Amino acid sequence: MAEIVITITESGENLNISAIISAEKKDSRLVKDVSNIIAPLMLAAASAEIAKFFQHLNEAHHG
């Protein structure tokens, strides 16, 4: 049996995404499949936050 807990919390302007995956050894394929879905989502969220950070820096510098 596998258990996957995805938590999304908002703190001010920040969006935090975390995932906890626990599984038995026989469920390793499921964990791999789910990880392949979750990892790009987390990367996309992080990329958006990094882009927002640099946009604020640019606006502060030029604005």
One-character DSSP codes across the chain: -EEEEEEEEEETTEEEEEEEEEE-GGGHHHHHHHHHHHHHHHHHHHHHHHHHHHHHHHHHHH-
Q: pLDDT tens, 27-62?
A: 777 777 777 877 787 778 778 777 888 888 888 878
Q: What pLDDT does 50 receive?
A: 79
Residue 2 scores a pLDDT above 80? no
- The mean pLDDT value for 4-23 works out to 79
Q: What pLDDT does 10 receive?
A: 82
Q: What pLDDT does 63 receive?
A: 66
Measured CA to CA, the distance from residue 22 to residue 24 in angstroms comes to 7
Q: How far is CA 30 from CA 21, 27, 40, 43, 54, in A?
A: 10, 5, 16, 20, 37
